[in-house]
Amino acid sequence: MSIENSFLEYICCPITKQPLDFVSKELLSKINHSINKSKISRKDGRSIDYSLTNALITKDKTIIYPVYDDFPILIEDYAILMEQIK
């Protein structure tokens, strides 16, 4: 099972209240590359030690939320700030 696009119209970023969309495969690859090099962390400062298979991003492309087992983790502490991704 996977998240349906229609589900996105019912959820939003808990911080900014912006709509969310799926992260592109290209960006997901960049995120995972940064995770593997221990260059990014969650908003609460904890490191991320697992690759992401899916994620959601805010409309303004500044905040990412991981998706685990088809469940989006829309908790502020789990947010990944795009400013870390290079």
- Where are the domains positioned within the chain? 5-84
Q: What is the pLDDT of residue 2?
A: 66
Of 57, 49, 13, residue with least CA distance to 32: 49
- Band of residue 1 on the pLDDT scale cut at 50, 70, 90: very low
Q: What is the pLDDT of residue 39?
A: 86
pLDDT tens-digit readout, 47-71: 998 999 999 999 999 999 999 998 9
CA dist 54 and 23 (Å) reads 7
Q: What's the token pair of residue 82?
A: 């795009």
How many residues does the structure list for the chain?
A: 86
Cβ-contact 23, 31 below 8 angstroms:
yes
